[in-house]
Amino acid sequence: MKIIIVSHGTFAQAMKDTARMIVGEVQDVYAFGIVSGEKLELFDEKIETVLREAKEKGEEVFVFSDMFFGTPFNTMVRLMKTYDVYHYTGISMPVLLECLTLKDSMNAEELKAHIEEISTDTFMNVNEFIKNCEE
């Protein structure tokens, strides 16, 4: 299974680097960021190279984009017309870490169900959490 992170700027690479610090090196993880002045076609080509390879090998692909309707998101939606991927937007480090640690022990449908279940628990109001703990 391949995991692709797409973002504006260097956010995708920073997510990958931070995840590596926490869980160690993980194979088949790719980070692509669109930078100011870069032609969109080059960004598309980088991603499509990985998608094409995965398709040829029959590998499943999870894609995480940084934000809804941004250029990286729109690029992936366009590529989804040709490539079968699981695409999620609004990536967070907890969700990425779950995927990285479980991608080799679950199939894509199991991983999809798992991250959809835990994703609602990864964003919280800490003030409310502390208040509830004190009561």
Q: Where are the domains of the chain?
A: 2-134
pLDDT for 33: 98
What distance separates the 2 farthest-apart alpha carbons in the chain?
56
pLDDT for 135: 77
pLDDT for 134: 86
Burial-class residue 6 by CB neighbours within 10 Å (0-12, 13-18, 19+).
buried
- Global pTM reads 0.92
Q: Which CATH superfamily is domain 2-134 in?
A: Phosphotransferase system, mannose-type IIA component (3.40.50.510)
pLDDT of the chain along its 135 residues, tens only? 999 999 999 999 999 999 999 999 999 999 999 999 989 999 999 999 999 999 999 999 999 999 999 999 999 999 999 999 999 999 999 999 999 999 999 999 999 999 999 988 777 788 888 899 987
pLDDT for 120: 82
pLDDT for 16: 98
Contact between residue 79 and residue 43 where contact means Cβ atoms under 8 Å apart: no
Contact between residue 100 and residue 94 where contact means Cβ atoms under 8 Å apart: no
pLDDT for 114: 95
